[in-house]
Structure 1
Amino acid sequence: MTLHALVAYATTHGSTAELARCVARTLRDQGLEAEALPAAQVTDVDAYDVVVIGSALSLGRWHRDARRLVRRHREALRRRAVWAFSSGPLDSTASDRDIPPVPSARRALDKVHARGHVTFGGRLEPGATGRLARMILDEGRGGDFRDWDAVASWARDIAAEAEAPESA
């Protein structure tokens, strides 16, 4: 039986959407049927065996759309294999060490008994809108800190765990 996976993402400047598409592509490469959708567009999770929730971090919080997705679909998510990722550090810390989920993510993930969480580096490049983004860029702290090999490796681990007999 082919497992169906949803990679739902909440993004501000598009970086998390790109990470989510990489996760979905890697899951497909591992034999799962996977699609990436904006969290705000997810109306039902019943068709999925696996759900990955990705959220941008801003001011130390998970994106509102990710938190709303968990709140709206909490009961259904509890009956699925759920993993999550955060994206946001604008430096190499996410590649250097494990970063635990921020409190808003931890609360949401505890409610759905998520199997795992990882934090990936983020991206903020010139042209990003918003006062905070412009301030960060003006301070020279922008750039792309995503580690695509780490993202693909994490997604392969999800596929392997989801397909393990005890997960079915």
Structure 2
Amino acid sequence: MNTPTPAILVTYGSRHGATAGIAEEIADALREDGFAPAVVPAREVTDVTPYDAVVIGGSLHAGHWNHDALRCARRNAAALAERPVWFFSSGPLDTTAEQEDLAPVPGAAHAMAQVHARGHVTFGGCVTADTPGVVARVLVRSGRAGDFRNPPRIRRWAHRVAGELRAHPGPAAAPDHADA
């Protein structure tokens, strides 16, 4: 007897597209593991009940998690608490996220606690000359910009999510912040 493949939502709040790119990378890895994830911007997610599991990502700006991602988690909190959920953040413009386990910022940590998320990971961010905005231009001019996303690390984390989902498909296990 074949067990149906869980439906997975990968949703994200992204100001300029870097976090969206991470969400797509996660979805690609989940596809390699036999899942058929849906990738949807967090501002468009009104109902998570069609999904068996959810991955929520948010960009970091000045120590705050993306508002669209936070709102998505809040408006779907009850349904999220009934399924496996993982969080990711994107933002450091250096290799800090690869060198140490970065705890979720307070807004993300609060949302994780509300939905009993299984884990969190922070990935490096991306600001380039093509990124709009004054802050991006200042970062580019100062030499602090770059693409610090690490696709192999993102994919490894997504493969671990897939493995955990296969092993424990039900609601939340104990939270683990060191998933990367």
Fold shared, TM-score > 0.5 on shorter chain:
yes
Residue aligning to 1:145: 148
Unaligned stretches of 5+ residues in structure 1: none
Name the structure 2 match of 1:95.
Answer: 98
Cα RMSD after superposing both structures: 1.0
1:13-52 equivalences under 5 Å are 13-52=16-55
Instruction: Tell me which stretches of 4 or more aligned residues in structure 1 moved more than 6 Å.
Output: none
1:121 aligns with 2:110: no
**What is the TM-score of this pair, normalised by structure 2?**
0.90
Gapped regions of structure 2 (runs ≥ 5): 171-180
What's the offset of the Cα at 1:108? 1.0
Query: Partner amino acid for 1:125?
Result: T
Q: Deviations along 1:60-110, whole A, 9 cap, x unmatched?
A: 110000000011100000001000100000001111111110111101111
Shift of 1:131: 2.2
Deviation at 1:127, TM superposition (A): 2.6
Number of paired residues?
A: 167
Q: Which deviates more, 134-143 or 155-164?
A: 134-143
Write the distance in 2 (CA, Å) between the matches of 1:111 and 1:8: 17
Rounded to whole Å, the distance in 2 between the matches of 1:147 and 1:97 is 14
Q: Comparing 63-72 with 122-131, which one deviates more in the overlay?
A: 122-131
Q: Does 1:104 align with 2:107?
A: yes
Whole-Å Cα distance in 1 between the matches of residues 115 and 138 of structure 2? Answer: 35
Aligned partner letter, 1:69: C
Q: Which whole-Å deviations, capped at 9, do the CAs of 1:17-67 have from their partners, x for residues lacking one?
A: 010001011111111120111000112101111100011100111000000
In the TM superposition, residue 167 of structure 1 has moved relative to its aligned partner by 2.7
1:63 aligned residue: 66
Distance (whole Å) between structure 2 residues aligned to residue 167 and residue 5 of structure 1: 11
CA distance in 1 between counterparts of 2:31 and 2:8 reads: 9
Identity of aligned residues (%): 47
Distance across 1 between alignment mates of 2:20 and 2:27: 10
